[in-house]
Amino acid sequence: MGRNLVEPTDRGLYCAAGDFFIDPWRPVDRAVVTHAHSDHATWGCDRYLCSEPGVEVLRQRVQNDADIQGVAYGELLDLNGVKVSLHPAGHLLGSAQVRVEHAGRVEVISGDYKVQPDGTCDAFEPVKCHRFITESTFGLPIYRWRDDAEVTADINAWWRDNQEAGRTSVVFAYALGKAQRILHSVDASLGPVVVHGSVQRFNDVYRAAGVALPDTTTSTEESRKTCKGVGLVVTPPSTLGTPWLRKFAPYSTAFASGWMAIRGNRRRRGVDRGFVVSDHADWPGLLQTIADTGCESVGVTHGYTQALVRYLRQQGMDADIVPTRYEGESDTEQTGETTDESG
């Protein structure tokens, strides 16, 4: 097939024919951004391109006066003779896969994606291509997600149990994406809901986009009094053990993440419960998506790259590792930002 349209560089994935970068990790002239998590959206680029639903989310992450162009999902753009379109990734509000076409060749860069719809963003859509660059955050066979309704029922039951014991229910969830997904799904009729300020600012963006979220308030003396012992607190993991959180005591803590599928991670995180809630594809989801694209070659990035590449090659596929600054092979927050990274 010849040289790939999109290749890794020291600034991120680059399409030379169109002269643009996809999710660069250093400031560049033109950045096509899959979504607004900080390991994909870099501050300081001259021009940004993202999906229309993702514009205001991205603006929260980069400079307020940034030049951001939003395009509808599926809309074709011509960037220096290269056809570019964005397609739903199902990861968070505005998340997108990037389809690149030039000289009869089509390549798709997935960004982060989840194949199960959750109601807080456009559902994932597989895109046919010659080459597919896929994330592999949970690219091991041990990662297989339960049905969302079952997990939500567990969270609601835990919340009710805590109320009976006079404890506040505290869920640690990343501020962008995961927190809104939890809020969208839980039974908010059970009690008041308080969120960290970093969660609330994204709640406002989600509500403006038409996503249904329950009423939430930030921590005040009045809201803490109302919430204590009966309510739900949704906050980033970085607040564990802080004076901010201790004001809600007594409480029970839980962490919502795909990493909770591994025995021992709950204990290592120092929380009482772990709920397996991920905004990434699990092992079956990764394999099904790769098959659905009909691709001839697979580039694997962001996560358990070696394991997934090895498996794909064993199945007779042309697969290779696409290096990135973010490897994603642990449950730590990769950029040092402790409020909104994904898992």
Asked, as a colleague might, if the bond just before 250 is cis with ω within 30 of 0, I would say: yes
pLDDT reported for residue 151: 98
The mean pLDDT of 306-318, rounded to a whole number, is 98
Asked if residue 245 and residue 298 are part of one domain, the reply reads no
Asked if residue 159 and residue 172 are part of one domain, the reply reads yes
Residue 84 token pair: 């570019």
Asked if residue 283 and residue 138 are part of one domain, the reply reads yes
Residue at 216: amino acid letter: T
Q: Is the pLDDT of residue 337 over 70?
A: no
**Structural domain of residue 32, as residue ranges?**
6-143+279-321
Indicate the angle between helix axes 148-164 and 178-185, nearest 10 degrees. Answer: 70
Asked if residue 302 and residue 197 are part of one domain, the reply reads no
pLDDT reported for residue 324: 86
Structural domains of the chain, count: 2
pLDDT reported for residue 326: 62
Question: What's the predicted TM-score (pTM) here?
Answer: 0.94
Q: Is the pLDDT of residue 3 over 90?
A: no
Asked if residue 269 and residue 185 are part of one domain, the reply reads yes
Give the integer Cα–Cα distance in Å for 116 and 144. Answer: 12
Q: What percent of the chain has pLDDT over 70?
A: 94
Asked if residue 238 and residue 310 are part of one domain, the reply reads no
Residue 121 in any domain: the answer is yes
Residue 304 in any domain: the answer is yes
**pLDDT grade for 334, boundaries at 50, 70 and 90:** very low
Domain boundary (242, 275, 308) is at 275
Q: Is the pLDDT of residue 12 over 90?
A: yes
Residue 332 in any domain: the answer is no
- CATH code of the domain covering residue 228: 3.40.50
The mean pLDDT of 238-247, rounded to a whole number, is 96
Residue 76 in any domain: the answer is yes
Q: Which residues contact 317 (CB under 8 A, 6 or more apart)?
A: 290, 297, 298
Asked if residue 63 and residue 113 are part of one domain, the reply reads yes
The mean pLDDT of 70-81, rounded to a whole number, is 98
Share the mean pLDDT of the chain: 94
Asked if residue 15 and residue 139 are part of one domain, the reply reads yes
- CATH code of the domain covering residue 62: 3.60.15.10
Asked if residue 164 and residue 106 are part of one domain, the reply reads no
Residue 334 in any domain: the answer is no
Residue 111 in any domain: the answer is yes
Residue 328 in any domain: the answer is no
Are 343 and 280 within 8 A, CB to CB? Answer: yes
Q: Is the pLDDT of residue 333 over 80?
A: no
Residue 203 token pair: 């709640």
Residue 124 in any domain: the answer is yes
**pLDDT grade for 183, boundaries at 50, 70 and 90:** very high
**pLDDT grade for 116, boundaries at 50, 70 and 90:** very high
Give the tens place of pLDDT for each residue, 192-207.
999 999 999 999 999 9
Are 99 and 86 within 8 A, CB to CB? Answer: yes
Give the integer Cα–Cα distance in Å for 193 and 186. Answer: 10
Asked if residue 82 and residue 156 are part of one domain, the reply reads no
CA angle 193, 122, 206 (to 5 degrees): 35
Asked if residue 131 and residue 154 are part of one domain, the reply reads no
Q: Which long-range contacts (CB under 8 A, 24 or more apart) does 71-78 make?
A: 73/122, 77/49
The mean pLDDT of 52-74, rounded to a whole number, is 96
Asked if residue 170 and residue 268 are part of one domain, the reply reads yes
**pLDDT grade for 106, boundaries at 50, 70 and 90:** very high
